[in-house]
């Protein structure tokens, strides 16, 4: 069972968005539709007066705040998912680097040329076994941390 399902992350995120962001999201959608309509009508027209420009092309601070508030609320609701994703990304990158370093450590020095590298395959097998144990420990630790 994957971590997202175990944590009911999708349901919790959607619940947060419905509970906390619905009003802000609706307001932002109204603002965006209004701004888009206003701009579409005046898309190819040059404003010759201050009044015309302000009425048809100017974005108010309130409209920008409405959109930013909705974005902020949605981002807050998605924070749990983002934390898990970033944690997994960082740990998997470090794990991948560890495997590479382990493999490089199994190359025998003094090989005749770069084309004929010699590798201690028993050492590589040991690396892989150790990294399997590391992956299992990471999985348990992350599961304990998140659940």
Helix axes 61-77 and 79-104, enclosed angle (nearest 10): 60
Q: What per-residue confidence (pLDDT) applies to 76? A: 95
**What number is the average pLDDT over the span 8-37?**
91
d(CA 113, CA 53): 72
Q: Are 138 and 95 in contact (CB under 8 A)?
A: yes
Residue 112's pLDDT is what?
55
Give pLDDT, residue 32: 92
Residue 59 half-sphere exposure toward CB, CA atoms < 13 A? 13
Q: Where are the domains of the chain?
A: 3-77, 83-146
pLDDT tens for 21-30 read 999 999 999 9
pTM higher than 0.75: no
Residue 112, exposed/middle/buried by CB under 10 A (0-12, 13-18, 19+)?
exposed
For 75-113, the pLDDT digits (tens) are 999 998 898 889 889 999 999 998 888 888 887 766 555
Residues in CB range of 86: below 8 A, 6 or more apart: none
pLDDT digits (tens, 9 = 90+) for 47-76: 888 998 888 788 889 999 999 999 999 999
Rounded average pLDDT over 105-134: 78
Higher pLDDT, 3 or 57: 57
Average model confidence (pLDDT) across the chain: 85
Q: pLDDT tens for residues 130-146?
A: 989 998 898 888 877 77
Q: Which long-range contacts (CB under 8 A, 24 or more apart) does 21-27 make?
A: 21/70, 21/73, 21/74, 21/77, 24/66, 24/69, 24/70, 24/73, 25/70, 25/73, 25/74, 27/66, 27/69, 27/70
94, 79, 87: which is closest to 144 by C-alpha? 87
- Paired with 119 in beta bridges are 107
């Amino acid at each position: 069972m994957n971590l997202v399902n175990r944590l009911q992350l999708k349901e919790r995120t959607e619940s947060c968005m419905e509970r906390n962001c619905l009003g802000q999201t609706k307001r932002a959608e109204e603002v965006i539709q209004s701004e888009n309509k206003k701009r579409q009508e005046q898309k190819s027209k040059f404003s010759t007066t201050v009044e015309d420009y302000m009425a048809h092309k100017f974005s108010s601070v309130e409209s920008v705040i409405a959109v930013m508030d909705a974005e902020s609320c949605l981002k807050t609701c998605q924070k749990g998912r983002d934390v898990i994703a970033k944690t997994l990304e960082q740990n998997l990158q470090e794990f991948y680097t560890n495997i590479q370093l382990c493999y490089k450590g199994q190359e025998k020095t003094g090989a005749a040329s770069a084309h004929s590298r010699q590798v201690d395959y028993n050492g590589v097998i040991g690396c892989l076994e150790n990294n399997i144990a590391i992956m299992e420990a990471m999985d348990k630790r992350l599961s304990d941390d998140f659940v």
